[in-house]
Chains A and B, each alone.
Chain A
Amino acid sequence: MASSSTPKYNSNTLENNSSKRTLKDGTNWEQNEEIPRLPGETRVTDKDVIYMCPFNGPVKGRVYITNYRLYLRSVENDPVVILNVPLGVISRIEKMGGASSRGENSYGLDITCKDMRNLRFALKQEGHSRRDIFEVLTKYAFPQSHNLLFFAFVNEEKFSENGWMVYNPMSEYRRQGLPNERWRVTFINEHYGLCDTYPALLVVPYHATDDELKKVAAFRSRNRIPVLSWIHPETQAVIMRCSQPLVGMSGKRNKDDERYLDIIREANGQISKLTIYDARPNVNAVANKATGGGYEGEDAYPNAELFFLDIHNIHVMRESLKKLKDIVYPNVEESHWLSSLESTHWLEHIKLVLTGAIQVADKVSSGRSSVLVHCSDGWDRTAQLTSLAMLMLDSYYRTIEGFEVLVQKEWISFGHKFASRIGHGDKNHADADRSPIFLQFIDCVWQMSKQFPTAFEFNEQFLITILDHLYSCRFGTFLYNSEFVREKEKVTEKTLSLWSLINSEKSKYTNPFYSKELNRALYPVASMRHLELWVNYYIRWNPRIRQQQPNPVEQRYMELLALRDDYIRRLEELQITNNSKISNSSASSTSPSQMVSHVQTHF
């Protein structure tokens, strides 16, 4: 395909690229300002390649590889085609074509990315150019497999805000009004001795002693005992999280666990039953007994009511996303879009997660009952449910900072295994531990923000930025599996937080339509009639689908805001002049209606 008459676009990822025309000669790129570099980012190599763009056909360009990114700049196209890909998003690098390959552009590399795209580069067969680039990419994309540091540890960026200060567990619990006469803060896990995947600071019932907690830990998978996530300011009902009880085939019971759950139930003075939400489908919970797990049986927990929320496991979610990628990349399934979308089940999973979270939130809020949420280990589905329920119930979490706290608390500190689920810097692309659980959570948040466009302080860009840096390894925020390991690796000392980047440029991530509303429960409608595919994320590489940026509705609103401020200023000025002068001179040529004529108010 001749590329001269086809539309061009920038495959822009993380930073805004300058649209200026660049030098065609990139050999001296240490001095070339056009190629973005972060402090601490160093060059490794560069090569002439042909980028096999799935939308525009082959693009001749030069690829620059640093210890952080792969950057491609086209040499002939106008406007310039740019690829800017942090090496962290690379999931797999494959060689395509062999020495005997014939045909144009059949020899090169195929790079699978974690962010819903593939990159193909065609290379010259002679001069080992492919071997060199393959080795360099493999080494820097998978530092963990090569005894190298993540880029986050060599990143020397400076920000005006320190994102590590955003989350302080003690102040977050204080914000919730804790500790109080029924709930206490315990330091039993200070050195991660009770549970190595839990944070150091935990909130537990006032009437449960540390000794009792230890006994309960023995009966919960990986010692993840029920602890408080959130307390309702009015009903005092709480959201507790934990892992499954170790019931096993023999149906074991544990008096301490049973008593502990009763203490939780009584903590908000509630007479009715404690509600337990097991996120799994019923059959899976039963099947877990075979490996020593299980669920709270009626006999052992007569004061509890158990519901299964039918959310599937990490493997099902991984396959679902894989199917979704198949129908949106590189081309959007044309003929049977809706049934293809349905067959991926992606939105159905979203619906189930949201439905579960609505149930949890509604129980705590209108049901005035404390709830206990768990799945198997309590770090995937459980995190989704508690954090989404908290987002529905507590408007603080709908602010930029509040959301950062939520992610920091329910996901990072409570041991969602980011390293395993994302596979940061790990070459084992087929690892069964990988799964898009956090992406699914962010998708749910996006669905909520779409349904309630004025309820969230942050915008879509905020969510996309979080997802981009979930993979990029530029920040320490999502590295490693638990607080324990993070502390060992001195993440907060040696790396920067993603929230530093975001909070230093908050306006970029702010939703102009946000209206602050306190203590209002926000229930999304978990119906397929309202759920939609997040096109701006999943199909963002396709220039045909791209949404208009900036959003015209938002733009209009901003114009009006500016206009209002302008009027207020003028009004103040006029009042001052009118008050000070007695003679009433005729209106000058700068009448306000002329000044603002470009923004029309036609009612």
Chain B
Amino acid sequence: EIHIKEPIEKEVNPRLLPGELLLCEASTVYKYIQEDGSNRGTYGKLVCTNFKISFLDDDSASDDNEPQFKNKVVGENDITLQCVDQIYGVYDEKKKLLTGQLRKYPEKLIIYCKDLRVFNFCLRFTKEEEVKRIVSGIVHHSQTPKLLKRLFLFSYASAAPNNTDGRNQTVMFETLEDWRDELERTKGNVKYKAVTTNEGYRVSEKLPLYFVVPICISEESILKYEGRGIPIWCWSCHNGAALLKMSAFPKEQDDSTSQMQKAFLDGIYKTISKPPYELLKMDDLSSSLPSLQDIQTAYTRFKQLFLIDNSTDFWATDVKWFSLLESTNWLEIIRRVLKKAIEVAECLEVQHTNVLLIEESATDLCCVISSLVQVMMDSYSRTKSGFQSLIQKEWVIGGHCFLDRCNHLHKSEKEEAPVFLLLLNCVWQLVQQYPPAFEFTETYLTVLSDSLYVPIFSTFFFNSQHQRDTNKSGESLKTQSGPFRFLTVWDWSVQFDPKAQAFLNNPLYAEKPKPDKSQRKTTRFKHQRQLSLPLTQAKPSTKRGFFREETDHLIKNILGKRIGKFINSSDEPPNNFREFYDSWHSKPVDYHGLLLPRIDGPEIRVWSQRYLRWIPEAQLHGGGTIATAAKILDLMEEVQSLQVKVDEEHSQAVSGDVHSVPMLRNSARLSSLFPFALLQRQSVKPALPTSTWKDLEDEDDLVKRDDECVDLSGDML
């Protein structure tokens, strides 16, 4: 039943990173190629290190088939321990989830990965001892709780030579200077100031070392409730309106405490309600958006649709595909989040109103909405370095708990929620709707999402700046010699060589014309005009709250009575949003101006590159968006070489270096999975649905009819 190639006894050793240790291994492991449900595959060695699980087949030693797009750290047959989603064992054709201690060892191992890969390993030909060692090793190292300091991050940081390129255009927001520059860039410095109050983390360990608050906020008030109830600045719009976030007070049972908190908030609002802060709208995201649990549940169901075991599975789910997708609710959550971001943009842009986002800790949905709003409104956030700076500002330094939300340490599943993935999914919608507006490609977003699980970068492996700083210095780890020098994910050269990095850059990007100082004013005017809004839209101010229900809720629950008068409950016409949305969409798009996602039913799509990239049945040979992208890249290459030739002719000299464009010879033959799944065998057979047609119960009478009701049996009568 299995077409076995004679296993070649060849010593294949895993390529180990600095600090990486081989923990256990098993040989004669058979890895299935899922392709057609047949049992074809290859023999090799399965190893587990303190960084990854790796399958080394006989070909992995040879490099003659070097793919064009290759991750230098994690290969196609490597699974980092943090990337393992679930492990199943197969016992007598039955699948069983493997978690802790094992009594019996399976004949087959199925590993589902967080980047949607599925690995099928057959252990029937492996020595029993080795099976025991490898299975329990893999399960132990990837599925059981772990101490932070046991993350590979630390071994790597202490062993790796620090030779990374310090020049990185990404603003890290680790210094006061970075915040001041950002304030200046957005012209927010008139009304907001960067504060040093949290130096030594004396305000809160959850807040960053430096952050920005309204000028009028005093140091005492920041210190009073560990930074809670303080509006923290995210970004300022060109018209001066700002986007702010605030962590709410926890629900207090104690009446006197809650009275005090109300009074405190009242004071804060009185301070900032003075001109020029007269307008403020609040949105309690925990009540106006799905909860983290909803998001986690939806994503868990959604990703399941793409973790396909075999071809039969693929076609069986194909019949009811749309209703399956809908039942996960994931796309609906994306739509709601995008809609919320448009609502916030409308307030800032049209109503010139400050928006305050409120959430329990202000580090989850606040990050999603504030990032999205900036991507939509600030074209700098659509450049690669701008987007990376945004992620640093709102997420990494902003204090999103990556460690808990990704459950990297397997500490508590309750804390797990794909909040950052939600942002990337939303940004992807914008990227595919407006390709020329982004400097980066969807491939960039895909590899960024993969990098969430690569523990050699510190970026996604801490809960806060405080946690990173304390662990970096080595203070808490007496045995280690600190300080560690962590890598940042933004140094893409660690994962990709320049040729592969080119796939992260969007050849369609319409770069902003270089800002000419003399034209500054006109540009700005033009920008405002292109916002495509009727001038009458600037409505009398103090009238509206953000959303009626939420505002009422806020008044009752958070803010106290006196606040009510300047966040008046709403008499806002409900079609404000629609008007803004329709009006913007009726005008031509300015790729450097405001960008609003289209959110109607057919417009919200599945991010097929990320989710379908490993599924052979879904691949189009010579098709997909890569086909057109490849043509553009080929043409760009041609244009560039012509440019060089023209320059040479001009100066009659040999010119200097040319930036590289990926070489995609014979691009018509690329698979739509490109640049992923390059090791997959290319099949020439078309994929044929094996599922059956389902009944059209409601149309039964029609189904039975023939096209034309003419009796052909005339001669029989």
Give residues in A with beta carbon < 8 Å to B: 5-9, 221-222, 246, 248-250, 281, 283-284, 287-288, 291-293, 310, 312-316, 319, 332-334, 336-342, 345, 347-348, 351-352, 355, 358-359, 361-362, 366, 375-377, 380, 433, 451-455, 513, 515, 517, 520, 522-530, 532-533, 535, 539, 543-546, 548, 552-553, 556-557, 560-561, 563-564, 567-568, 570-571, 574-575, 578, 584, 587, 591-593, 596, 600-603
Contacts and interface: CB of A to CB of B under 8 A. Distances in A.
A452 B509 contact: no
Contact of A246 (B622, B642, B704, B712): B712
Contacts of A359: 688
Contacts of A7: 582-583, 585-586
Nearest to A7: B586
Contacts of A532: 602
A411 to B, nearest CB: 16
A259 B713 CA distance: 22
A577 to B, nearest CB: 9
Contact of A524 (B601, B603, B620, B661): B620
Given A316-B696, A342-B320, A544-B600, A560 B585 contact: no
Contact of B511 (A520, A560, A570, A600): A600
A281 B55 CA distance: 46
Given A6-B582, A527-B689, A571-B646, A332 B712 contact: no
Given A337-B601, A553-B628, A578-B652, A362 B686 contact: yes
22 contacts: A9-B586, A310-B692, A316-B699, A316-B702, A316-B703, A342-B320, A361-B686, A375-B707, A376-B707, A380-B707, A527-B618, A528-B322, A535-B602, A544-B600, A552-B434, A556-B436, A556-B507, A567-B646, A574-B646, A600-B511, A603-B502, A603-B660
Contacts of A246: 712-713
Given A545-B600, A553-B508, A221 B696 contact: no
A338 B643 contact: no
A352 B331 CA distance: 26
Contacts of B602: 332, 337, 341, 532-533, 535, 539, 545
B367 interface: no
A314 B586 CA distance: 38
B323 A513 contact: no
Most chain B CB neighbours (cut-off 10 Å) among A293, A337, A376: A337
B439 to A, nearest CB: 8
B435 A553 contact: yes
A508 B649 CA distance: 36
A334 B601 contact: yes
B619 A525 contact: yes
Q: 10 shortest A-B CB distances, which residue pairs?
A: A292-B713, A337-B601, A7-B586, A523-B686, A528-B321, A292-B712, A567-B642, A342-B322, A574-B649, A338-B326
Given A7-B583, A520-B622, A571-B645, A552 B608 contact: no
A339 B652 contact: no
A348 B691 CA distance: 12
Nearest to B711: A291
Nearest to A311: B693
Contact of B686 (A283, A312, A358, A593): A358
A601 B622 contact: no
B323 A339 contact: yes
A515 B642 contact: no
Interface stretch (B441-449, B479-487, B630-638): B630-638
A338 B319 CA distance: 13
A377 B652 contact: no
B57 interface: no
B582 A377 contact: no
B628 to A, nearest CB: 5
A342 B323 contact: yes
A527 B319 CA distance: 8
A561 B318 contact: no
A596 B639 CA distance: 11
A336 B579 contact: no
A557 B646 contact: no
B625 interface: yes
Interface in B277-334: 314-315, 318-323, 325-326, 331
A336 B326 CA distance: 8
Contact of A250 (B622, B631, B710, B716): B716
B322 to A, nearest CB: 4
B511 A602 contact: yes
B9 interface: no
B651 interface: yes
B659 interface: yes
Given A366-B685, A578-B649, A601-B639, A338 B322 contact: yes
A98 B8 CA distance: 88
Contacts of B6: none
B223 interface: no
B650 interface: yes
A9 B588 CA distance: 12
Contacts of B661: 603
B589 A548 contact: yes
B216 interface: no
Given A513-B628, A591-B650, A455 B623 contact: yes
A603 to B, nearest CB: 4
B452 to A, nearest CB: 24
B129 to A, nearest CB: 42
A474 B249 CA distance: 70
Given A292-B716, A380-B707, A564 B318 contact: no
A601 B636 contact: yes
B600 A571 contact: no
B686 A452 contact: no
Contacts of B275: none
Contacts of B502: 603
Given A545-B603, A556-B436, A529 B618 contact: yes
B656 interface: no
Nearest to A355: B689
B693 A310 contact: yes
Most chain B CB neighbours (cut-off 10 Å) among A315, A337, A568, A603: A603
Nearest to A5: B534
B631 A341 contact: no
A5 B586 CA distance: 12
B579 to A, nearest CB: 7
Given A517-B668, A553-B435, A362 B685 contact: yes
Contacts of B660: 603
B627 A454 contact: yes
Contacts of B315: 527
A340 B322 CA distance: 9
Nearest to A285: B706
B600 A334 contact: yes
B635 A560 contact: yes
B396 interface: no
Nearest to B689: A355
A254 B639 CA distance: 66
B696 A570 contact: no
Contacts of A517: 622, 668
A5 B688 CA distance: 51
Nearest to B624: A451
A552 B435 contact: yes
A439 to B, nearest CB: 16
Contacts of A376: 706-708
A221 B712 contact: yes
Given A341-B322, A525-B620, A568-B642, A513 B704 contact: no
Given A292-B712, A544-B582, A553-B632, A525 B617 contact: yes
B574 interface: no
B639 A319 contact: no
A453 B625 contact: yes
A530 B618 contact: yes
B147 interface: no
Contacts of B323: 338-339, 342
Contacts of B688: 355, 358-359, 362, 526
Given A6-B582, A342-B320, A544-B585, A291 B712 contact: yes
